[in-house]
A and B are shown apart, each in its own frame.
Chain A
Amino acid sequence: MLSALAALLLCQLAGEAVVRALELPVPGPVVGMVILFALLAAKAPLPSMMQDTADGILRHLSLLFVPAGVGLVNNLDRLGADGLKLFLVVIASTVIALTVTALVFAGIARLMGDQHGERSGMSAPEKSA
């Protein structure tokens, strides 16, 4: 558990270093994710608890957004008089982005005759479109 956490932090640290060195427009942890992925894909020797530790953290990913969410409530006055309109844009644009992304993904997967995503993710596996 502890060595797995250390491995995660080391990947993040390496990610931060790469971002600084190459002036990439992404956060260090995202590059850290790519580094860990490369290590996993290359079957590099990693701490045995890696899988359990990662699953444990991701199971409670919601918890990690609580401080930022409280910051949102604290900064609501920044929205000013246009708060309602801003909120409307957020809702409408999020609905559009979700719809376009999911429909394009599922539509092209179907066109390619690739039912895999459907089969593996469906609650009723025998049903195929």
Chain B
Amino acid sequence: MIDFVDLWVYLSGGPLLWLTATLVAYVIADWISLYFNRHPVANPVLISVVLVSSVLVATGTTFPTYFAGAQFVHFLLGPATVALAVPLARHLPEVKRALVPMLAALVAGSVAAIVSAVVIAQWLGLDRANVLALAPKSSTAPIAMGIAETIGADPALTAVLTIATGITGAIIVTPLMNALRLKNYAARGFAAGLAAHGIGTARAFQVNPLAGTFAGVALGLNGLLTAILVPLLLPWLLR
């Protein structure tokens, strides 16, 4: 008979177990999301994260052990970002036609994301370290962490706040846009990608391919603009 303790010790040492767990959690989460007709609260990222984290806590598994397996999934974020060029090229006529509204929304949205984060954080009495870590939160995680280093914030804290922003944005974008009675899916997608980077983009692709395309464009452009704006705006905003 198989000794389950031996089997566990063997499997938990390699990447197979946690790679499989990540995929299985996502398959379950995607099924739940579909079952609820892609309702924004049934966000597949959120559900998968809760499932995996519960298993990690229940089995006393550390994050580095988990990540040794999950890194293969994490790595695909790079090629996936490159792949955003394909829907962009496919929808190029729509994107070209929306160039002026897009660039205006880019500047307005990028400034709004940075200024609102810094001003509200100071208004709530958060200390300097937290205020700085919040400033780049709407840009994609690798850019946000780079900005954090430049402005003297803790990159790990910024990464946490950036992921939290992505999940928050992916959940609230649909009900918020419906409340605003906005039916322009290019605008909705662009907002999702600008405010909630990759996780918002994933949500946009779930809703509508055109929204996903504009989200991908916003993700790239806002990453760049946030890196330029945060160091410029901070001296004006910090009290």
Contacts and interface: CB of A to CB of B under 8 A. Distances in A.
Interface of A: 5, 8-9, 11-12, 15, 25-30, 32-37, 40-41, 50-51, 53-55, 57-76, 78-79, 82, 85-109, 112, 114, 116-118, 120-123, 127
A108 B184 CA distance: 12
Nearest to A27: B142
A94 B83 contact: no
Given A71-B159, A85-B126, A26 B45 contact: no
A58 B189 CA distance: 14
B82 A65 contact: no
B183 A103 contact: no
Which applies to chain B's interface (DSSP): helix, strand, loop or mixed?
Answer: helix
For chain B, which range describes its interface: under 10, 10 to 19, 20 to 34, or 35 or more residues? Answer: 35 or more
A33 B83 CA distance: 7
User: Which of A29, A82, A121 has the most chain B CB atoms inside 10 A of its CB?
Assistant: A121
Given A26-B223, A64-B77, A107-B101, 16 more contacts: A27-B140, A57-B76, A58-B212, A67-B73, A68-B163, A72-B167, A73-B49, A94-B165, A97-B113, A100-B108, A102-B180, A105-B104, A117-B94, A117-B101, A120-B210, A127-B183
B102 A92 contact: no
Given A25-B228, A26-B224, A57-B80, A93 B120 contact: yes
Nearest to A36: B85
User: Which of A8, A36, A78, A97 has the most chain B CB atoms inside 10 A of its CB?
Assistant: A97
A11 B98 CA distance: 27
B208 to A, nearest CB: 6
A121 B180 contact: no
Contacts of B117: 89-90, 93
B187 interface: yes
Contacts of B41: none
Interface of B: 22-23, 25-26, 29-30, 43-46, 48-49, 52-53, 56, 63, 66-67, 70-71, 73-74, 76-90, 92, 94, 97-98, 100-102, 104-106, 108-109, 112-113, 116-117, 120-121, 124-127, 130, 134, 137-138, 140-143, 146-147, 154, 156-157, 159-161, 163-169, 172-173, 176-177, 180, 182-192, 194-196, 198-199, 201-203, 205-206, 208, 210-212, 216, 218, 220, 223-224, 227-228
A24 to B, nearest CB: 9
Contact of B82 (A29, A85, A99, A109): A29
Contacts of B206: 62
A28 B78 contact: yes
B152 to A, nearest CB: 16
B122 to A, nearest CB: 10
B109 A101 contact: yes
B70 A67 contact: yes
